[in-house]
Structure 1
C-alpha cells in the first residue's frame, strides 16, 4: 500500500521518497508501540535518517501520525468508492467484500493501527470520519436502498450492511492470531473466510423472487 500524505504540494523526487520512507518507518513504529509509546528518535532510526532531517519533513510526531492515518483512511475507503451503481448488485457487494478482505490480508499492520485509533475514539481523524466517511457511506447506502426498492436485493438496513462488511473482513487482520489459533495451522483463514462470507452475503441479500 502506497501511503499518501494529507497534502500534496509540488516536491522533488527525493523529497517525496524521503516522506514515504518516514511514513513507512512510522507505520512500523506506531504499530509496535502505539502513538504514545512511539518516539521521533525511533522513527528516524528506522527510516535511516537523522532526527533533524526527519523534522525537515514533519514538524512533530503528531503530524506524522495524522498524515499516516489520513493516507490509510483514503486506502480503506477506496473499495467502497469502487462499488458502482450501474453494476450487478450482488456482484458489486461481493466485490466490495473481497476487496476489503484483501486489504486486511495484505496490510494487517495498517488495519490494526487504524483499528487502534478508532477504539481510542478517533481523536486525530474525527473530522474525516464525521464528514468524508459519513458522506460516502450515506451515498452508497442510497445506492443499496435503490437496488432494494427495485427488488434486486433482499431488503435490509444498508448502513448496517456496510458496517458488517467492515467488521467481518477486518477481524481477520485485527485478530489474526486468535483466528489462526482457532482454525489451526493447516487452514488458510483468508481463503476459508472469503468462501464463508460470500455464502453468507449471497444468502442474506439474494432476492426472494429474482426476475
Structure 2
C-alpha cells in the first residue's frame, strides 16, 4: 500500500514496532470500516480496536480519511489482479472459469475487504471514483475485447462481455457482502464448496459453444 502520511517517517526507516503499529491500525480500520462504513467509523473506535491511544494513532495517520484511502488503494489492486490474470492466449472457457474461482476465493478469504469496497461504492465512490473511471474501466474494456474476440472465433458462446464480467462480480462478491443472509438461509457450515460447484456449472453452461 502507498504511504500517504505527510510529515511522517518513510516506511523503510521505521522500526519494527512502528511498522507493526501501522499494520495494527490498518487491520483495525478494515474491521471498523467494513462494519460501520466510512461515515459511521470514528478514530476513537479504530484506536480502541487497534489497542492504541488516539494520539498514538494520529502519529501514524492524521485522519480516518488517510486510513480509509490507504486501505482502498491496496484493495483496488487486489480486486483488479484476478481480471488481469485472464490470459488472452489461454483456453477461453478455462480462463474465464479460473477468473470466477479467483473472485470467489477473494470473497471467501477477504470478506471485510469486499464489504469495505461495497460500502465505498454505495456511497457513490467519492474516494476511488477516478480509479474506477480510469484503471478499472481500461482493464474491463481490454478484457471485454479479449472475450469478444473469443466469441467471434466461435470459442465461447455469444454473451455481452462487459455484463459477463459484471455477473462474475455479482455472483462471487455476494457471498462476502451478504454473508449474514447467506448463513441465515443455509445455516452453519461453509457455503463456498457448494457455491464453487454451482458457479462452475452455471458459467460452463453459459460459455460453452
Structure 1 length normalisation: TM-score? 0.89
Asked whether the equivalents of residues 6 and 70 of structure 1 are also in contact (C-alpha less than 8 Å), the reply is: no
1:82-101 to structure 2, matched below 5 A, reads 82-101=85-104
**Which residue does 1:56 correspond to in 2?**
59
Separation in structure 2 between the aligned mates of residue 69 and residue 47 of structure 1, nearest angstrom: 18
Change beyond 3 A, Cα 1:190–1:6 = farther
> Equivalent of 2:165, from 155, 162, 169?
162
Structure 2 length normalisation: TM-score? 0.89
Separation in structure 1 between the aligned mates of residue 40 and residue 53 of structure 2, nearest angstrom: 19
1:197-208 to structure 2, matched below 5 A, reads 197-207=199-209
Q: List per-residue Cα deviations over 1:114-142 (Å, max 9, x = no partner).
A: 11111111111111111111111111111
List runs of 5+ in structure 1 lacking aligned partners.
none
1:134-149 to structure 2, matched below 5 A, reads 134-149=137-152
RMSD, aligned α-carbons: 1.8
After TM superposition, the structure 1 stretch with the greater mean CA deviation from structure 2, 53-62 or 138-147, is 53-62
Separation in structure 1 between the aligned mates of residue 62 and residue 28 of structure 2, nearest angstrom: 16
Separation in structure 1 between the aligned mates of residue 82 and residue 3 of structure 2, nearest angstrom: 19
Pair 1:5-2:23 in alignment: no
> Equivalent of 2:198, from 191, 196, 199?
196
> Equivalent of 1:179, from 178, 182, 185?
182
Q: List per-residue Cα deviations over 1:81-140 (Å, max 9, x = no partner).
A: 111112111111111100110110111111112111111111111111111111111111
Asked whether the equivalents of residues 4 and 66 of structure 2 are also in contact (C-alpha less than 8 Å), the reply is: no
Instruction: Tell me the secondary structure at the aligned position of residue 133 of structure 2.
Output: helix
**Which residue does 1:29 correspond to in 2?**
32
List runs of 5+ in structure 2 lacking aligned partners.
none
After TM superposition, the structure 1 stretch with the greater mean CA deviation from structure 2, 40-49 or 115-124, is 40-49
CA drift at 1:13: 5.0
Separation in structure 1 between the aligned mates of residue 63 and residue 54 of structure 2, nearest angstrom: 11
**Which residue does 1:128 correspond to in 2?**
131
Asked whether the equivalents of residues 108 and 173 of structure 1 are also in contact (C-alpha less than 8 Å), the reply is: yes
Instruction: Tell me the secondary structure at the aligned position of residue 192 of structure 1.
Output: helix
Change beyond 3 A, Cα 1:183–1:47 = closer
